[in-house]
Amino acid sequence: MESHLEAVLTEWHDAVNAGDPSRSAAAVGDPVVVLGPRGAGPITPSRFAEWVRRSGIRLTPVSWHPVSDRVMVVEEDAVWPGEESAVRVATVFRVVDGTVTAALRLPDLRSALELAHLYRELAATE
């Protein structure tokens, strides 16, 4: 049985992989916090949808690592237009009210799990 987190993240991946701006915007919160090679910070759903359209990235989930009831790390194979081979990455996702409110892409699973566990500990002390 698929968990609520998995269902939300499956929709997020499907929207991104379809390159569908309106579906991508609907899959994220306002704002959504992002982290990638070009920086980090909160962006609007429309800016996220523009990134999806512009980047042409395709992210295939490889493994799922639940961290809490709102946080999951997904190891993914990333492919960009013009590239022949996939690059293995990992993304820390936070889900609130059925949308992705954080998508923090890191270069490897270990780094993503470390960040996710640190976030969980920080959130527990709020």
- CATH code for the structural domain at 4-124: 3.10.450.50
Q: Where is pLDDT greater, at 91 or 124?
A: 91
Return the amino acid letter for 124: A
Task: List, for residues 70-83, the tens digit of each pLDDT value.
Answer: 999 999 999 999 99
Q: What are phi and psi of 97, to 5 degrees?
A: 50, 40
Checking if the pLDDT of 36 tops 90, the result is no
Q: What is the pLDDT of residue 84?
A: 86
Give ∠ CA 12-66-10 in degrees, rounded to 5.
20
Q: Decide which of 2 and 15 is more confident.
A: 15
What pLDDT was estimated at residue 2? 64
pLDDT number for residue 25: 98
Residue 90 CA to residue 61 CA, distance in Å, equals 9
Question: Could you give the percent of the chain with pLDDT greater than 90?
Answer: 89
Domain segments of the chain: what residues?
4-124
Round to whole Å and give the CA distance between 94 and 122.
Answer: 14
What is the average pLDDT value for the chain, to the nearest integer?
95
Would the pLDDT of 96 be above 60?
yes
Cα–Cα distance measured from residue 117 to residue 109, given in angstroms and rounded to the nearest whole number: 12
Whether the per-residue pLDDT at 104 is higher than 90: the answer is: yes
